[in-house]
């Protein structure tokens, strides 16, 4: 199991969790950099969607 630390406001985290839940994402990735890039991309997409 991997731990990811995100520094983001509560609203961003809530939107990210909603996105993961809505899409039934089961995230299983070995490389930490790939996870970080995907999380950052998702946060950017959520910001643009506002």
Query: Could you tell me if residue 36 is inside a domain?
Result: yes
Query: Could you tell me if residue 4 is inside a domain?
Result: no
Beta strand extents in the chain (DSSP E only): none
Query: Could you tell me if residue 26 is inside a domain?
Result: yes
pLDDT for 32: 67
pLDDT for 7: 76
Give how many domains the chain has, as a whole number: 1
Query: Could you tell me if residue 1 is inside a domain?
Result: no
Query: Could you tell me if residue 14 is inside a domain?
Result: yes
E strand or H helix at 17, and its extent?
helix 10-22
What predicted TM-score, i.e. pTM, was given to this entire model?
0.36
CA 45 to the chain's CA centroid: 10
Query: Could you tell me if residue 2 is inside a domain?
Result: no
Query: Could you tell me if residue 21 is inside a domain?
Result: yes
Query: Could you tell me if residue 38 is inside a domain?
Result: yes
**pLDDT tens profile 1-50:** 677 776 778 888 788 878 877 777 665 545 667 778 888 899 888 989 87
Domain that holds residue 37: 10-49
């Amino acid at each position: 199991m991997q731990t990811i630390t995100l520094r983001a406001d509560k609203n961003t985290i809530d939107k990210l969790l909603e996105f993961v839940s809505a899409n039934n994402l089961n995230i299983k990735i070995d490389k930490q950099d790939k996870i970080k890039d995907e999380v950052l991309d998702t946060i950017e997409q959520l910001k643009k969607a506002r």
